[in-house]
Amino acid sequence: MAFPQGKARNTPMRIALLITLLAAGLSACQTMTPEERRAADERQCLSYGFRRGTDGFATCLQRIELDRRAESRAQSAELMQSMAWDLNGPYVYRRHWHHHH
């Protein structure tokens, strides 16, 4: 398989970087059990002044969960974008930087 000049040399470096990014992403995962996470969320809502069994408490828990999911999606999108960049470019071609799609 023919690679653009300089691209074949960078492949091991890109693979190493990809592995590093994946390891960093996995290490950032929370190690809390669902029960521990729920208890922490409840403590957070209680610290805001909400009382268990109220609509406000339920809404607080829901917002914490929605925020957690949004953060997870953002981190996943960032990792995927970084991996795509690492696998596809940039590379030097005729003294200019190009991003290969």
CA atoms within 13 A on the CB side of 53: 0
- The tokens describing 48, both together, are 């805001």
Q: What is the pLDDT along the chain (101 residues), one digit of tens a residue?
A: 444 555 555 566 677 777 776 666 665 555 889 999 999 999 999 999 999 999 999 999 999 999 999 998 988 888 888 777 666 665 555 665 555 55
Q: At 73, is the secondary structure helix, strand, or coil? A: helix
The pTM of the full predicted model, rounded to 2 decimals, is 0.52
What confidence score (pLDDT) does residue 82 get?
78
- The tokens describing 79, both together, are 């990792």
Max CA distance (Å), the chain: 66
What confidence score (pLDDT) does residue 1 get?
45
